[in-house]
Structure 1
Amino acid sequence: MTALRWQGLFFSAIALLVALASLPVGATVGSAMLLLLVGLIVVLGVPHGAFDPLFAQRLHALAGLRDWSLFTLAYLLPALLVLLLWQRAPGYFLGGFLLISLAHFSGDPEAGSGVFFRVLYGGLMIVLPACLHVDEVARLFGMLADPADAATLAGWLHLASWPWLVATFFVVLWTARQRWQAALEMLAVAVLAIAASPLVAFTVFFCGMHGARHFLRSLAYAGPGAARSGLRYAVLPMVAVALLLAGALWIWRDVALEERLVRLIFIGLAALTVPHMALIERVRFGSRW
């Protein structure tokens, strides 16, 4: 059994256990738990993007200070534009972030998964939390955008969540006949998204599935010696990300701790996801992922 299959089985087991432990639905995340979740996302989730310079080097044959300086500029500019969009139009930022997250998460399923399966899967962690946690989703969105816009968006997700759940149920049944593990992974993500609080569900999914799967695929793509090369290329980006996170915390020092941490997670991830996707999706659609 390949490393990706073992990772999928491990994630599915953890996700279902966390979902079971979250019953009955309704528990909220306190400040201490929120700090733990942010720590897990930063330590276990965000580093999967540290391989981006390695992908850039392979795709564009970067060499020398000039090439790497241009790459750094091209990487940071979209991230800065995302931050500017959040400041100027947070409602549009939030809607756009959800859409690109859906598209990005759709790359997690195994090779050979159809477009409908991928889109449905990609939206599980975006749409299904609003099934039973719509008030919590609206509250979290309200820390990123105008509360009225946040409530409206959460309401639309709540309406979409039930047909999304029904479609997921039938797709899981259909897929299980030929690709049982793909069906199991989809089921695990769906149950986790419905049962656990939104932040807990996102953390388990982002670290245990998305980040871990991306890391394993990155190693396979890079070939022998990838771990050593990846670490070499990853040092500066990770230092830069750490400095940006520290700077954001300082800028928002007068904001309440919970809101500051929620902003740190989602605004920071949105800024990093756009340039990250520009590299990863090219590899994926080039049939090299």
Structure 2
Amino acid sequence: MAKLVSQSTLNDERRGRLAPPFLFQSAEPKDPGSISPAILALTIVLLFALSLSSAALPMLIVSACVALLVIGLPHGMFDYLTLRKAGRGSWIRLASLTAGYCGLAAIGFLGWQVAPTFSLVAFIVIAISHFMEDWAPEGSGLFALAMAISVIALPALLYSAQLSALFILVGGANAGAITDYMRLVAPVFGLIAVAKLIIDFGDGKSDQAWRNLLLLAAPLLLPPGIGFAIFFCLYHSPKHFAAGRRDLMNQHDKPQGFFLYMSVSSAAVVLCVLLAHPLIAMSERLIVTAFQTLSLLTLPHMMLPYIMDKVRKFSTGNARKR
């Protein structure tokens, strides 16, 4: 009988032991005077967004949401490989894992229809917990929390009206009040993050510090949604995508088949959410679809280790009874 992926192994991965792709190597460049690909990519995108006129911003926001769906969303589809490997040798176990995963996504979808403001708050809290994993390897839980909160809350400082409008669009009329709370926490955690960056500069970790500084500058200086998309598509998604490819794909997996599965699955989820909002303009539907789709997959993505642990204990108990 194939062994399930252990809870400790999954927790180790969740703590951030991820293999960074070429854009985000954690080590300093070999040439002290060189610019790392991470800093170069983030700088180019940030400067391009800042150079656009205000008239182009609505289209840029829509483009950012499309990027979240096309570039950012597929990395979560590696959960399919996790489920498949964990359920190998028992179709009942695989069916149970898949049902639990899909059930959580269905609960999230129902939550958006019944209580959108609560669902938005829950999504923000879950997202912060998930994003903390990206900075966990840098050694400070407080810094990881500060960065995770900052990439979400910093737009409230310079773009509070736009952020409130975005929250109202996604989470209903009462969701605009979330911005007020973000305006309170953003300066505190932003300063904590900056303090850690100063320490990193002093310790010679300039590449890491510059990268994190750019990840803070994007949500602070750009309108809501755009800075978040830069973080999600250029840092979070590639980092987890590389880890999934390293840990879950083997020589027997066919990349073309997996990527076809990712594309079809992502498109199916996006289409379901898109069709759930037929009464608003297409540009607004894309914005709502981007954030709600991410939330639907974030919950089961985060809960997957818990689901697998419960199924493992259930399977072990049945085996002992036999």
For the aligned pair, the TM-score class normalised by the smaller chain equals 0.7 to 0.9
Distance, in Å, in 1 between the alignment partners of 2:257 and 2:50 is 43
- 3-state SS, counterpart of residue 135 of structure 2: coil
Alpha-carbon RMSD: 2.9
Identity value in percent: 22
Is the radius of gyration larger for structure 1 or structure 2?
Answer: 2
Tell me the residue number matched to 1:252.
277
C-alpha deviation, 1:230, in angstroms = 5.7
Q: Give, in angstroms, the shift of residue 116 of structure 1.
A: 1.0
Pick one of 190, 203, 206 that aligns with 1:180.
206
CA contact (8 A) 1:29 1:197 kept: no
Give the direction of change, closer, same or farther, for the CA distance of 1:231–1:114 in structure 2 (3 Å limit): farther
* 1:45 pairs with 2:72: yes
Task: Describe the SS at the equivalent of 1:108.
Answer: helix
Counterpart selection for 2:265 from 224, 230, 240: 240
- 1:188-207 matches, within 5 Å, as 188-207=214-233
Q: Could you tell me how far apart the structure 1 residues matched to 2:172 and 2:274 are?
A: 21
Amino acid at match of 2:239: R
1:189–1:205 Cα contact (<8 Å) kept:
yes
Distance 1:136 1:25 in 2: 17
Which shifted more, 181-190 or 14-23?
14-23
SS in 2 for 1:123: helix
Does the CA-based 8 Å contact 1:51-1:230 persist in structure 2?
no
**So what's the TM-score if we normalise by structure 2?**
0.76
Amino acid at match of 1:39: V
Q: 1:140 to 1:4 in 2, by over 3 A?
A: same
State the AA in 2 paired with 1:45: G
Distance in 1 (alpha carbons) for counterparts of 2:126 and 2:242? 22
Structure 1: distance between partners of 2:205 and 2:135: 11
1:150: Cα distance to partner? 2.3
1:213 maps to 239
Residue 170 of structure 2 corresponds to 144
Structure-2 residue corresponding to 1:19: 46
Alpha-carbon distance in structure 2 between the residues aligned to 1:174 and 1:223: 37
Which deviations, in whole Å up to 9, do the C-alpha atoms of 1:253-281 show, x marking residues without a partner?
A: 22122321111011111010011112379
Mapping of 1:1-289 within 5 angstroms? 4=20, 6-8=22-24, 9-23=36-50, 27=54, 32-58=59-85, 60-63=86-89, 65-109=91-135, 111-147=137-173, 149-176=174-201, 177=203, 179-222=205-248, 224-225=250-251, 228-229=253-254, 232-233=257-258, 235-236=260-261, 238-279=263-304
1:108–1:52: structure 2 CA closer, same or farther, 3 Å change rule?
A: same
> How many residues align structurally?
279
The one-letter amino acid of 1:197's match is P
Return the alpha-carbon distance in structure 1 between the equivalents of residues 244 and 69 of structure 2.
18
Partner of 1:252: helix, strand, or coil?
coil
Gaps of 5+ in 2: 1-17, 25-35, 309-322
Partners of 2:212 and 2:23 lie apart in 1 by 14
Cα distance, 1:282 vs structure 2: 9.6
Q: Tell whether the 8 Å contact from 2:19 to 2:243 is kept in structure 1 after alignment.
A: no
